[in-house]
């Protein structure tokens, strides 16, 4: 059944059409669940109307003959009893079907959307993640998803309500056309009041939501900054800030309350006013002999079941715009084309010895030029240090080499094959990156090193040895099988870096890019790690470093400044460059973390 | 009208069911239940205006009850008195209908007026409670603001209060209104026939244990849902934050299958929990049908003997249908009530946590210029009992440049926090210029002592607003001078919007190092007599740091500076080095003195030297 157009006028029609689209997407995903839920809702409506008729029959055939004329017909009595129970059960069944299968429809839709969302999170290029905060992306999977699917909940009930209105009207017509007339005045009035209420409550209700959200982030901020607040003695001002924000919640809640106070009692009282009219006209019709008392009773009972479903339908129209907006936010991610599928190389490369060559590479971030025409190469077995002031684009090179970002122009070759043409699995086997931020998964130490790849225990052992992680791993409660993260052990910064190092070293990759990945490791241990690495045959290292001791270990230093390579050579040679020398001096002066 | 009250029973419940999916922040915390009466009593003590709210609600309940009971009585009157066999008594019908019409209309307006006032009272109460708890939390000692508890504290003034507010809007009103309606309906029923009333009560009785059982199951299942949701979000959070690692190691598929598993599990649990919500409907409908059918059967057998009229009987049937709605609603409110009471108790408990740092009424003012600091046998212990500072005694002469050195957890950060009176010592005393710190005027202390914490926390405002946070009326010139004296003017001007650059939530829009620069400027603005730097430049890039350190050296004239050092280069130039180890000061002296001793400092320094120069 299509909702009649009158109900939606006044709502933003475009918004409503998009709401219908949201619903039809869910209908396509879960047609079966929706169909049963809607069937249940209609069954409920029919049973509810039938029950009022049964009450009418019971009045005429059981209650009145028995009490007024003392003529109890046992057969009629038990028939009425059985009927009431049966119809009651059917009504309950209808409600159950609606509620239960609606859950399947709603959560099934969420399941599907969430899966699509997660796939996007995994497959979209790195540039996507660089632009979005994790909190935002998680909100899509959590709160946005819940709100987007919220409008699906009253859907079946709303359809059932329109069905109910029709069944009820037909039923009243069959009882007596005059009585149907009262309903014809009452129904539109009820619908109109509801519509006005729904429309007017949308704005203050969303203001409440917004105010609650603002207050919540204010509290978060205020407690996060408690140290600053306390040391500057700004506590009372923070309290005032909260009061102002919470005042808004109060204000908007009172507005919602005022609307509720105007409309709800009236909406619920309207059927009662109808009942009074029914009694006046009904008794007159009874007196004329064209209506029985039972029919009047059944009409009264029918009026009683109208207000509630109409209210639910109102809520459906209140929720729809919110859901549409939430789904829009999710769609923004879903509609992005994952470029991962476009650059899927197929060429194999030999794992024997590898070289890395960067040719005329230019990279931009948000239109800002980061790397301007950079060219350099790393030969097999060479140790190269990348040095340059903060923000010069050293990590961007790591991103380019790891295919996390595409250069805006220029080429990157791995063993003389363009990076994008290489089979991804071959690329990750040949070249690994240990990132600046050492991320660990809530999994075992072992899985954190393997990351789903197949390596022998011997290789694992060798990797942890070179990464100088053996000592502390063996002291963990379950060694390599110790669970890390929230429900497991927390490692120190230096330990975390060593686990991520082992992750990069395992399986003898030919080129390892260390993006400032030993900054939290004790300098003595760092030296041991680098010494250990150099014992590997044909291994090339690219090191982003801030420690003079690390820089001095390199065969060659590449000095980046202002987006270009300003010099290449040994540390001593580069000291002739003024910019390099002052940077080196700062590194020396700043020294090492104590 | 048979179910017009059915209506008010939650337009909410019908569409929500996911009411408690969002994680309550500390379910792990004490699950101990406090009696409802105790919570109410304490709640009334804290918010006496609730009494007004309660009487308003009772008034409204009486009005609503009158409205819903008027119609069955009208039906009975008209059927029995208006429709006589002798003919229609039109006048009686008109008059009784007119009376009923007046009652129903009156109810609309009276309900509107009472509800309006009720919302006002409730929202004002909630507002005051929120502000009060927030203020209390802000006054609590830093020991109560430990990182791990931050979420819980935040929840007290956000989600717990929201739960309470929602309860005030629906649950609390439902309890009173529904009880009055149930009692009122049963009373009218008993007036018609106490025997039939007993029959109805007997039929409805089993509903109580059934509702309870379903509620309990629902509660358990929804808890499982919440666990599943946080599991999914945890997995998703890894997928998002580890994006570079996942991509460069080709780890997508393992993560994908983990996510799928969590996602499926969440779905299954949601469906399972929802089953109980769905089950409520047929249960209630069955009881509703049973009671109507039961009344008709019992009335048919007992009625003639008792002289029950058909009008009374029909009214009785309608009254029976009125009864089901409030019972149903109370059933659904039960679970909300438990959560709300528990939340309320937690909120109230916050007010019982003692405030440890009390500011003096009229304290002593500190003179401008460098401050002299002295610690006498200072101990600091967390409430859990772990000793952080152990009998610290030290005198820091005015104008000294002090470096504090030690391993993580040695107590050095706690020590400097005590100097800024972020917390008070458990025992012992700190004096500033010879005055005990707790006797110093708060305003004077805040302007003379500035601490720059490591995380350089910024508010979601402009840099200007962040810098003038502690001194809101600072002039433009003062602010510019603060940046200039630190040598940060160039940096500031290079920012997209200069001093008006928005720093974003928690300062996210600028780098960690830049946040520290703003925090330094914030402290410099006050031109304090004691400047405490707690690893305040740890994230500043080396080039900038070198410049910054020399600026701070210049500024240290005429002030006492205490730096918790993250690089030993700071310590080399200090007038006095304090070496902390396991809550004690184990070595004091200058770099010259300490580096020649065979102590902890010498060890640290040797390692450091080895690495800057060597290889």
pLDDT tens for B293-351 read 999 998 888 887 888 888 888 999 999 988 888 888 887 787 778 888 888 888 888 88
Shared domain check, B517 and B461? yes
Which contiguous run of DSSP H or E holds residue A560? strand A556-561
Total structural domains within chain B:
3
* Gyration radius from chain A CA atoms: 36
Shared domain check, A326 and A376? no
Shared domain check, A406 and A318? no
**Coil, helix or strand for A168?**
helix
Can you give the pLDDT at residue B516?
86
Shared domain check, B401 and B529? yes
Shared domain check, A355 and A328? no
Higher-pLDDT residue of A569 and B384 is A569
Long-range contacts of A113-117 (CB under 8 A, 24+ apart): A113/A145, A113/A148, A113/A149, A113/A330, A113/A334, A114/A141, A114/A145, A114/B232, A114/B263, A115/B259, A115/B260, A115/B263, A116/A334, A117/A141, A117/A145, A117/A330, A117/A333, A117/A334
Total structural domains within chain A:
2
Q: Is the pLDDT of residue A287 over 60?
A: yes
> Rounded to an integer, what distance in angstroms lies between the CA atom of residue B469 and that of residue B492?
18
Shared domain check, A387 and A319? no
Shared domain check, A82 and A169? yes
Q: Is residue A424 part of a domain?
A: yes
Among residues B161, B192, B223, the one where a domain terminates is: B192
Mean pLDDT of A453-473: 91
Q: Is the pLDDT of residue B31 over 80?
A: no
B26 to chain A, closest Cα gap in Å: 15
Q: Is the pLDDT of residue B523 over 50?
A: yes
Shared domain check, A382 and A329? no
**Coil, helix or strand for B222?**
helix
Q: Is the pLDDT of residue B385 over 80?
A: no
Can you give the pLDDT at residue A343?
58
Which segment of A341-350, A537-546, A579-588, B56-65 scores lowest on mean pLDDT?
Answer: A341-350
Q: Is residue A66 part of a domain?
A: yes
Q: Is the pLDDT of residue A144 over 90?
A: no
Q: How confident is the model at residue B238 (pLDDT cuts 50, 70, 90)?
A: confident
Higher-pLDDT residue of B206 and B54 is B206
CATH number of the domain bearing residue A117:
1.20.1560.10
Q: Is residue A138 part of a domain?
A: yes
Q: Is residue B338 part of a domain?
A: no
Q: Is the pLDDT of residue A405 over 80?
A: yes
Shared domain check, B530 and B387? yes
With tokens 């942890």, the residue in question is A464
Residue of chain B whose alpha carbon sits nearest to that of A435: B245
Can you give the pLDDT at residue A36?
95
Shared domain check, B388 and B284? no
Can you give the pLDDT at residue A9?
40
Q: Which two tokens stand for residue B150?
A: 């931050």
Shared domain check, A333 and A350? no
Q: Is residue B223 part of a domain?
A: yes
Shared domain check, B221 and B150? no
Assess contact for B5 and B107: CB atoms under 8 A.
no
Shared domain check, B107 and B74? yes
Looking at the complex, does the CB of residue A131 fall below 8 Å from at least one CB of chain B?
no
Mean pLDDT of A36-54: 93
CB distance B263–A96 less than 8 Å? no
Mean pLDDT of A474-491: 82
Q: Is residue A353 part of a domain?
A: yes
Q: Is residue B378 part of a domain?
A: yes
CATH number of the domain bearing residue A359:
3.40.50.300
Shared domain check, B164 and B227? no
Instruction: Find the CB nearest B285 among A88, A230, A586.
Output: A88
Shared domain check, A522 and A373? yes
Q: Is the pLDDT of residue A513 over 50?
A: yes
Q: Is the pLDDT of residue A203 over 70?
A: yes
Q: Which residues pair with A543 in a beta bridge?
A: A385, A514
Can you give the pLDDT at residue B252?
87
User: Which percentage of chain B shows pLDDT scores above 70?
Assistant: 91
Among residues A299, A323, A341, the one where a domain terminates is: A341
Mean pLDDT of B430-445: 90
Which segment of A43-47, A205-209, B333-337, B578-582 scores lowest on mean pLDDT?
Answer: B333-337
Q: What b-and-e string marks burial along A444-464, b requiring 16 or more CB atoms within 10 Å of the CB?
A: bbbbbbbbebebeeebbebbb
Can you give the pLDDT at residue B561?
93
Shared domain check, A481 and A582? yes
Among residues A341, A376, A402, the one where a domain terminates is: A341
Q: How confident is the model at residue B609 (pLDDT cuts 50, 70, 90)?
A: low
Domain, as residue range, for B475: 373-613
Q: What is the ipTM of this complex?
A: 0.85
Residues shown for chain A: 594
Shared domain check, B167 and B291? no
Arithmetic mean of pLDDT over chain A: 85
> Rounded to an integer, what distance in angstroms lies between the CA atom of residue A255 and that of residue A249?
10
Shared domain check, B159 and B169? yes
Residue of chain B whose alpha carbon sits nearest to that of A486: B234
In degrees and rounded to multiples of 5, residue B158 shows phi and psi of -120, -85
Shared domain check, A502 and A402? yes
Can you give the pLDDT at residue B34?
65
Shared domain check, A517 and A379? yes
> Rounded to an integer, what distance in angstroms lies between the CA atom of residue A62 and that of residue B145?
71
Q: Is residue A206 part of a domain?
A: no
B186 to chain A, closest Cα gap in Å: 19
Can you give the pLDDT at residue A82?
92
Q: How confident is the model at residue A2 (pLDDT cuts 50, 70, 90)?
A: very low
> Given strand B584-589, what is the order of strands in its sheet?
B449-452, B530-534, B560-564, B401-406, B576-581, B584-589
Size of interface A-B (CB pairs under 8 A): 477
All residues of chain B having their beta carbon less than 8 Å from the beta carbon of residue A520 are none
User: Which percentage of chain B shows pLDDT scores above 90?
Assistant: 19
With tokens 């105007």, the residue in question is A262
All residues of chain B having their beta carbon less than 8 Å from the beta carbon of residue A491 are none
Q: Which of residues 332-371 of A touch B (CB under 8 A)?
A: none
Q: What is the pLDDT of residues B99-158, one digit of tens each?
A: 999 999 998 888 888 888 888 888 999 999 999 999 998 888 776 776 556 777 888 888
Among residues B172, B192, B212, the one where a domain terminates is: B192
Shared domain check, B384 and B289? no
Mean pLDDT of B416-423: 88
Alpha helices by DSSP H, A132-234: 134-139, 145-150, 155-175, 177-224, 226-231
Mean pLDDT of B519-528: 89
With tokens 């004002």, the residue in question is B124
Q: Is the pLDDT of residue B259 over 90?
A: yes
With tokens 């005329």, the residue in question is A360
Q: How confident is the model at residue A339 (pLDDT cuts 50, 70, 90)?
A: low
Arithmetic mean of pLDDT over chain B: 83
A84 to chain B, closest Cα gap in Å: 6
Can you give the pLDDT at residue B12?
39
A interface test, pick of B251, B286, B293, B566 with most A CB neighbours within 10 Å: B293
Domain, as residue range, for A322: 15-176+314-341
Q: Which two tokens stand for residue B120?
A: 């006002």
Which segment of A54-58, A382-386, B306-310 scores lowest on mean pLDDT?
Answer: B306-310
Instruction: Find the CB nearest A63 among B17, B112, B314.
Output: B314
Shared domain check, B52 and B76? yes
Q: Which of residues 264-283 of A touch B (CB under 8 A)?
A: 264-266, 268-269, 271-273, 275-276, 279-280, 283
Shared domain check, B181 and B208? no
Q: Is the pLDDT of residue A3 over 60?
A: no
Q: Which of B10, B22, B28, B8 is nearest to B277 (CA)?
A: B10
Q: Which residues, including other chains, have CB under 8 Å from residue B363's CB and lie 6 or more apart?
A: B439, B440, B441, B442, B444, B445
CATH number of the domain bearing residue B512:
3.40.50.300
Q: What is the pLDDT of residues B211-234, one digit of tens each?
A: 888 888 888 888 888 889 888 988
A311 to chain B, closest Cα gap in Å: 7
Among residues B192, B223, B253, the one where a domain terminates is: B192
Shared domain check, A522 and A405? yes
Q: Is residue B390 part of a domain?
A: yes
Q: Is the pLDDT of residue B4 over 70?
A: no
Mean pLDDT of A248-252: 94
All residues of chain B having their beta carbon less than 8 Å from the beta carbon of residue A129 are 240, 243-244
Q: How confident is the model at residue A12 (pLDDT cuts 50, 70, 90)?
A: low
Instruction: Find the CB nearest A242 among B131, B252, B508.
Output: B131
Which segment of A50-54, A305-309, B378-382, B486-490 scores lowest on mean pLDDT?
Answer: A305-309
């Amino acid at each position: 059944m299509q909702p009649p157009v009158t109900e939606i006028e006044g709502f933003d029609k475009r918004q409503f059409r998009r709401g219908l689209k949201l619903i039809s997407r869910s209908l396509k995903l879960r047609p079966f669940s929706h169909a049963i839920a809607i069937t249940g809702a209609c069954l409920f409506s029919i049973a509810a109307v039938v029950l009022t008729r049964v009450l009418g029959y019971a009045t005429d055939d059981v209650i009145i003959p028995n009490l007024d004329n003392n003529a109890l017909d046992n057969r009629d009595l038990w028939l009425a009893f059985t009927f009431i129970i049966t119809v009651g059960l059917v009504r309950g069944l209808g409600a159950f079907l609606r509620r239960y299968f609606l859950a399947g429809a709603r959560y099934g839709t969420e399941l599907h959307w969430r899966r699509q969302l997660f796939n996007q999170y995994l497959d979209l290029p790195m540039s996507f993640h660089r632009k979005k905060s994790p909190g935002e992306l998680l909100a899509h999977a959590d709160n946005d998803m819940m709100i987007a699917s919220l409008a699906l909940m009253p859907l079946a009930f709303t359809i059932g309500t329109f069905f109910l209105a029709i069944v009820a009207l037909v039923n009243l017509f069959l009882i007596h056309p005059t009585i149907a007339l009262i309903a014809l005045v009452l129904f539109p009035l009820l619908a109109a009041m509801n519509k006005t209420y729904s429309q007017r409550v949308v704005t203050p209700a969303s203001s409440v939501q917004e105010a609650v959200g603002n207050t919540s982030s204010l509290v978060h901020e205020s407690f996060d900054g408690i140290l600053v607040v306390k040391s500057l003695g700004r506590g009372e001002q923070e309290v005032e800030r909260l009061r102002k924000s919470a005042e808004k919640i109060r204000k908007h809640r009172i507005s919602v309350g005022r609307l509720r106070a105007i409309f709800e009692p009236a909406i619920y009282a309207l059927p009662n006013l109808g009942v009074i009219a029914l009694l006046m006209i009904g008794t007159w019709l009874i007196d004329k002999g064209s209506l029985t008392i039972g029919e009047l009773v059944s009409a009264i009972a029918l009026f009683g079941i109208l207000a509630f479903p109409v209210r639910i339908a109102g809520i459906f129209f209140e929720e729809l715009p919110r859901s549409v907006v939430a789904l829009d936010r999710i769609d923004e991610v879903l509609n992005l084309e994952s470029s991962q599928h476009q650059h899927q190389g197929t060429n194999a490369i030999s794992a024997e010895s590898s070289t890395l060559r960067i040719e005329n590479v230019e990279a931009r971030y948000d239109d800002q030029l980061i790397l301007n025409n950079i060219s350099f190469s790393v030969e097999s077995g060479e140790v190269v240090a990348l040095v340059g002031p903060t923000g010069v684009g050293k990590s961007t090179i790591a991103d380019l080499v790891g295919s996390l970002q595409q250069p805006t122009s220029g080429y990157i070759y791995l063993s003389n094959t363009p990076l994008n043409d290489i089979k991804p699995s071959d690329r990750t086997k040949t070249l690994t990156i240990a990132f600046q931020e050492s991320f660990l998964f809530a999994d075992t130490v072992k899985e954190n090193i393997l990351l789903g790849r197949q390596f022998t225990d011997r290789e694992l052992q060798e990797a942890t040895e070179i990464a100088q992680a053996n000592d502390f791993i063996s002291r963990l409660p379950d060694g390599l099988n110790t669970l890390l993260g929230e429900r497991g052990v927390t490692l120190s910064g230096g330990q975390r870096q060593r686990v991520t190092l082992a992750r990069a070293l395992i399986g003898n990759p030919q080129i390892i890019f260390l993006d400032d990945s030993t900054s939290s490791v004790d300098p003595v241990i760092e030296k041991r790690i680098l010494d250990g690495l150099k014992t590997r045959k044909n291994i090339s290292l690219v090191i982003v470093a801030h420690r003079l001791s690390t820089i001095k270990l390199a065969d060659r230093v590449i000095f980046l400044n202002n987006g270009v390579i300003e010099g290449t050579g040994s540390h001593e040679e580069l000291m002739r460059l003024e910019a390099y020398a002052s940077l080196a001096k700062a590194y020396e002066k700043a020294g090492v973390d104590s | 009208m048979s179910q017009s009250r059915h209506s008010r029973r939650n337009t909410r419940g019908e569409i929500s069911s996911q009411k408690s999916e969002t994680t309550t922040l500390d379910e792990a915390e004490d699950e101990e239940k406090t009696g409802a009466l105790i919570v109410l009593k304490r709640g009334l003590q804290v918010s006496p205006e609730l009494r007004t709210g309660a009487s308003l609600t009772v008034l409204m309940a009486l009005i609503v009850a009158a409205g819903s009971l008027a119609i069955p009585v009208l039906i009975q009157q008209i059927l029995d008195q208006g429709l006589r066999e002798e003919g229609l008594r039109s006048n009686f019908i008109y008059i009784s209908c007119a009376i009923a019409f007046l009652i129903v209309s009156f109810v609309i307006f009276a309900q509107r007026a009472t509800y309006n006032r009720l919302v006002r009272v409730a929202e004002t109460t909630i507002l005051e409670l929120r502000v009060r708890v927030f203020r209390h939390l802000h006054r609590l000692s830093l020991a109560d603001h430990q990182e791990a508890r931050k979420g819980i504290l935040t929840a007290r003034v956000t989600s717990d209060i929201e739960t309470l507010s929602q309860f005030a809007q629906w649950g609390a009103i439902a309890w009173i209104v529904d009880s009055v309606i149930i009692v009122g309906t049963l009373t009218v029923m008993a007036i018609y026939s106490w025997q039939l009333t007993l029959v109805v009560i007997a039929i409805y009785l089993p509903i109580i244990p059934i509702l309870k059982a379903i509620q309990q199951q629902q509660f358990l299942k929804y808890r499982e849902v919440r666990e599943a949701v946080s599991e999914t979000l945890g997995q998703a959070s890894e997928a998002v934050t580890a994006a570079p690692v996942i991509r460069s190691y080709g780890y997508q598929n393992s993560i994908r299958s983990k996510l799928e598993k969590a996602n499926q599990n969440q779905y299954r649990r949601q469906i399972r929990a929802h089953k109980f919500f769905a089950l409520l409907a047929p249960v209630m409908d069955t009881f509703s049908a049973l009671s109507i059918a039961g009344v008709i059967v019992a009335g048919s057998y007992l009625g003639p003997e008792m002289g029950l009229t058909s009008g009374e009987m029909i009214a009785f049937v309608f009254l029976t249908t009125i009864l089901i709605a409030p019972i149903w609603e109370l059933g659904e409110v039960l679970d909300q009530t438990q959560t709300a009471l528990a939340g309320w108790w937690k909120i109230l408990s916050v007010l019982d946590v003692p405030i440890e740092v009390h500011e003096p009424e009229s304290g002593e003012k500190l003179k401008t210029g460098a401050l002299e600091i002295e610690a006498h046998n200072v101990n600091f212990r967390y409430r859990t009992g772990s000793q952080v500072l152990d009998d610290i005694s030290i005198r820091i002469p005015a104008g000294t440049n002090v470096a504090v050195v030690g391993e993580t957890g040695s107590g050095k950060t706690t020590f400097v926090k005590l100097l800024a009176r972020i917390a008070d010592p458990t025992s012992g005393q700190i004096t500033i210029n010879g005055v005990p710190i707790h006797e110093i005027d708060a305003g004077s202390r805040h302007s003379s002592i500035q601490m720059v914490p490591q995380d350089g926390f910024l508010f979601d405002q402009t840099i200007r607003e962040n810098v003038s946070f502690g001194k809101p009326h600072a002039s433009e010139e003062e602010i510019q001078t603060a940046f200039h004296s630190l040598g940060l003017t160039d940096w500031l001007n290079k920012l997209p919007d200069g001093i008006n650059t928005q720093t974003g939530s928690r300062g996210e829009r600028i780098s960690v190092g830049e946040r520290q620069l703003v925090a330094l400027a914030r402290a410099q603005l006050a031109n304090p007599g004691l400047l405490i730097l707690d690893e305040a430049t740890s994230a500043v890039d080396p080039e900038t740091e070198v410049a910054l350190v020399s600026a701070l050296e210049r500024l240290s004239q005429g002030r006492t500076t205490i730096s918790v050092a993250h690089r030993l280069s700071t310590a080399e130039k200090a007038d006095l080095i304090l070496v902390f180890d396991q809550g004690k000061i184990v070595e004091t002296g200058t770099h010259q003195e300490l580096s020649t001793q065979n102590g902890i400092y010498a060890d640290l320094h040797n390692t450091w030297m080895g690495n800057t120069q060597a290889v």
